Amino acid sequence: MKHFNHILRTAYFIILLSLTSITNAENTSGTPKNLSKDSIEISLLTCGPGSEIYSLYGHTAIRFHNITRNEDWAINYGIFSFKQSFFILRFVFGLTDYEMGIIPFNDFLAEYQSDRRWVKEQKLNLTQAEKENIEKALRTNYLPENRTYRYNYFYDNCSTRARDILVSNLEGKVTFPPITNPDATYRSMIHQWNEDSRWARFGNDLLLGIKADYRTEKSEQQFLPDSLCNDFSKATINRVGIAENFVSETHWLIPPTTVVSVPNIFQGTPQGDAAILLAITIIFTIIAHIYSPLKGVTICFDYLLFLVTGVCGLILLAMIFSQHPTVSINFQILILNPLNILFLFKRFRKNHKYTYILTICYTFFFILSFFQQYAEGMMLLALCLLMRWTDRIYSKKQLTINR
């Protein structure tokens, strides 16, 4: 979802003046009103994925093209800047504000051309009155007091905003095709786009909770640009009992190209790295029982393992207060548990209540995996913790018996 803040300010006055003068200029240009309005084309633009994490899922924009007046604008709801104070922190907690932006269409296209991302245009089948309604809505939406909105990736993003402003300003009623994948979830849908970015997928899955595994409705699935594009291509618009195709014409502005990715054999995967950690855990556990002088090394390994997972648990605990609904209930907190940090203190390691609580948490982590899909490698990490935790309990019991 590409940002254009470096041109937004310089184009502001020109754009606002142009948009507000479209209607008035028709009467002074010598062009009949109907001809001018008929020359306006409004399209849905769908852009392919990029290499940056925020662009893995594509982008959606609107094209407003007045052929008679030679005015061509790209309108999108994905304007943001990493320079905003505490951007990452605000994004995680669902407090990020995005803006509606308008730039010359050629500049928009050049950005995607340089990034080697495809762009598809779907021209909409609209009446003159519907074009006027959308034009008016865009002008109103671009007012300084209206253009900023509270962004939410699944529920309110560049795709849903573009869809809503187009569909809600029509005289006819748009009917989308029946849902083809009723079992699709938010998680499964984004998995289609981050298959080649395993660590990005891991980060998403680590933060997403059980609500991301609920089945989605047709309108909910349109948060992805490609899904919205497919639905538009099969949608119909009904005016006075007559159903017509909502899209009148579809073509590539930038055709997709085949990119051959060379795998990096030195770059691990979450599952692979978790498997290595599990192997190290098994080796430490076996050696510590065979050769007791190495128990001190094993204890240091335990401290590190429980400290890191406990700190990660604090992050998941903070996500409970996020405004993103899909991250509030996350069963992975049972294994990435803030209570793991207490393992570093001897008084807690010897406390029976602490042992009992942590054992219950680890047990329920495995049981609840039937209801929530965990991040890749989390089950192996859980086995590492369970193995070391069980070994600590067993060693403590053996010490008590020997005494």
Digits of tens for pLDDT over the chain (403 positions)? 444 343 333 343 333 334 333 333 333 333 333 334 568 999 999 999 998 888 899 999 999 999 988 899 999 998 876 566 666 677 777 778 889 999 999 999 999 999 999 999 999 999 999 999 999 999 999 999 999 998 898 999 999 999 999 999 999 999 999 999 999 999 999 999 998 899 999 999 999 999 999 999 999 999 999 999 999 999 999 998 889 999 999 999 999 987 655 555 557 899 999 999 999 999 988 887 887 777 778 889 999 999 999 999 999 999 998 888 899 899 999 999 999 999 999 888 888 899 899 999 999 999 999 999 999 999 999 999 999 988 887 666 554 444 4
| 166 & 275 share domain | no
pLDDT score, position 22: 32
- Cβ burial, residue 246 (10 Å; 0-12/13-18/19+): buried
Q: Looking at the domain assignment, is residue 205 inside a domain?
A: no
pLDDT for residue 54: 80
C-alpha distances in Å from residue 260, one per residue of 13, 55, 196, 257, 263: 43, 19, 12, 10, 9
Q: Is 340 exposed, middle or buried (0-12, 13-18, 19+ CB in 10 A)?
A: buried
- The answer to whether residue 211 is domain-embedded is no
Task: Identify whether the C-beta of residue 169 lies closer than 8 Å to the C-beta of residue 129.
Answer: no
| Helical (H) or strand (E) element with 244 | strand 242-245
Q: Of 314, 239, 272, 228, nearest to 45 (Cα)? A: 228
172 and 45 housed in the same domain: yes
DSSP code of 267? Answer: S
Residue 196: predicted pLDDT: 87
Are residues 50 and 159 located together in one domain of the fold? yes
Residue 208 placed within a domain? no
Give the pairing of strands 119-124 and 247-254: antiparallel
Counted domains in the chain: 2
Residue (of 138, 109, 130) closest to 45 by Cα position? 109
User: 183: which DSSP letter?
Assistant: T
Q: Within a domain: residue 116?
A: yes
Q: What's the domain range around 377?
A: 270-402
Residue type, position 169, single letter: N
Is residue 108 one of the residues assigned to a domain?
Answer: yes
The rounded radius of gyration (Å) of the Cα atoms in the chain is: 27
**Do residue 289 and residue 349 come from a single domain?**
yes
Question: For residue 34, what pLDDT is reported?
Answer: 38
- In a shared domain, residues 350 and 249: no
Angle (deg, nearest 10), helices 158-167 and 225-234:
30
Both 320 and 379 in a single domain? yes
- Measured CA to CA, the distance from residue 224 to residue 169 in angstroms comes to 21
The answer to the question of residue 210 being in a domain is no
Check whether residue 241 and residue 331 sit in a common domain: no
Residues 9 and 42 in one domain: yes
Domain co-membership, 112 together with 234: yes
For residues 18 and 44, membership in a common domain is answered with yes
Q: Is residue 395 part of a domain?
A: yes
Same domain, yes or no: 238 and 370: no
One-character DSSP codes across 159-174:
HHHHHHHHHTT-SSEE
- pTM here? 0.83
> What are the φ/ψ torsions at residue 69 (nearest 5 degrees)?
-90, 0
- Tell me whether residue 33 is in a domain: yes
Q: Which residues are CB-contacts of 271 (< 8 A; sequence separation ≥ 6)?
A: 376, 377, 380
Does 144 lie in the same domain as 21?
Answer: yes
